[in-house]
Structure 1
């Protein structure tokens, strides 16, 4: 039985928790699978980048935060998952040797009107380094069972095909002309509203368990039999796995367009890192065998105070094999601008 419920985390609750030691090997291991940009993989490439050295993927930092949240809050709690993240900001690079801790604060606490047995908490989580400096913060929602109400009944997961083939994906370069920012790399050339398919990712029992055991070991992510008795009704992927898989497809697609630019003998400039995102929603659970097809659409571009750089905002979506949208968020990323 859980020992912590919604009522144990009132508005104004504040605590500091844990410590996570960041290593070079862990940075490279995560980046190799989910965010293989040069400044996450190679020290020399990192030194030449805007980050000034090898740094961890922001998605890894978010996943480490999830692990700290589990160890400090969710391990013995009546967790019902999370519908999403309102906003997240990456404030400074995370380096090998950093020791990360968590500051947790409840901003709002309310009981669901449609499900009285469910409480909804709005948290602000700050991730601090060993010097007490905040490297990342996020404002997110958490669903917990209430103490007096009986547990919510397990949902029935929708039928999944016995086997799903990962769709082959090749970018359609024929619809991209030489002046499109997706080829040139310049923010000036980015075409607002130009939707790009970025490929698919299959969630298997093995990759779901591997990710969840490392970063989000809630019972419905790591125990197939126990998960059947939870609100999810079956083994479900961590939301941070869903998001990290999207990042892997974004980087792979960006690399494919860079290769196409070289084939066309077009000069191309490298993109910069992301300062964060907003409005991330985990709309439906992702179950074993699901295949998500991801896409990204530029929404807006702006000048910023940093000389030679601007910022682009993209809407990113994940659609499962049944045509259901299960994941979305609005990202921001630094792009170079012509002088």
Structure 2
């Protein structure tokens, strides 16, 4: 993908990434290190619990969505800075074998009043499973350079 800057973007632009599958092994490995709750690491306890089986940590899903964002490279190698994640919602459990697809849309582009060489881009992200069910949503605010001459 060609590098894209603030001046190249338009509100309403949307894109979808390549689907990726979450495995039981990665669910357990992530959770053992970062979120060691029974529903993420203990199959028997998870089956007896409210979800009826292992589920991925929401933070694991976030990390995989971030990886997908980098891999897709929709903005090329443009340097950008994450400013915030707002309205993060985990709406449905993600289970071993689920295949997730991420869709993003640009909601707002705001040139900076104090630093005219940059601005912010607000996006909305939806993550759907193989059945089309939305499993996670959030809004993201990022700082973008106006053009290739700017270093963040």
Alpha-carbon distance in 2 for matches of 1:109, 1:75: 14
Partner of 2:142: 142
**8 Å contact 1:5–1:77 — kept in the other structure?**
no
Alpha-carbon distance in 2 for matches of 1:82, 1:141: 6
Structure 1 46/8 Cα, relative in aligned 2: closer, same or farther at 3 Å?
farther
Partner of 2:130: 130
Partner of 1:76: 76
Alpha-carbon distance in 1 for matches of 2:7, 2:131: 33
Structure 1 12/74 Cα, relative in aligned 2: closer, same or farther at 3 Å?
closer
Alpha-carbon distance in 2 for matches of 1:21, 1:8: 32
Partner of 1:273: none
Partner of 2:29: 29
Q: Verify: 1:55 aligned to 2:29, yes or no.
A: no
Alpha-carbon distance in 1 for matches of 2:64, 2:135: 12
Q: Can you list the C-alpha shifts for 1:55-78, whole angstroms capped at 9, x where unaligned?
A: 000001011111122122456241
Partner of 1:97: 97
User: Superposed, which structure 2 residues align to 1:208-247 within 5 Å?
Assistant: 231=152
> TM-score, normalized by length of structure 1?
0.42
Unaligned runs of 5+ in 1: 153-230, 232-339
The Cα shift of 1:131 comes to 1.4
Alpha-carbon distance in 2 for matches of 1:29, 1:145: 37
Q: Verify: 1:38 aligned to 2:38, yes or no.
A: yes
Q: Aligned-pair RMSD on alpha carbons?
A: 1.6
SS at match of 1:70: helix
Alpha-carbon distance in 2 for matches of 1:9, 1:82: 17
Partner of 1:151: 150
Between Structure 1 and Structure 2, how many residues are aligned?
151
Unaligned runs of 5+ in 2: none
Alpha-carbon distance in 1 for matches of 2:73, 2:110: 18
Which of the pair has the greater relative contact order for Cα pairs under 8 Å at 6+ separation? 2
Partner of 1:121: 121
**8 Å contact 1:117–1:151 — kept in the other structure?**
yes
**8 Å contact 1:118–1:143 — kept in the other structure?**
yes
Alpha-carbon distance in 2 for matches of 1:4, 1:79: 10
SS at match of 1:108: strand
Alpha-carbon distance in 1 for matches of 2:70, 2:127: 14
| Segments ≥4 residues shifted beyond 4 Å | none
The Cα shift of 1:79 comes to 2.5
**8 Å contact 2:98–2:130 — kept in the other structure?**
yes
Structure 1 6/73 Cα, relative in aligned 2: closer, same or farther at 3 Å?
farther
The Cα shift of 1:7 comes to 2.8
SS at match of 2:64: helix
Alpha-carbon distance in 2 for matches of 1:71, 1:146: 23
Greater radius of gyration (CA):
1
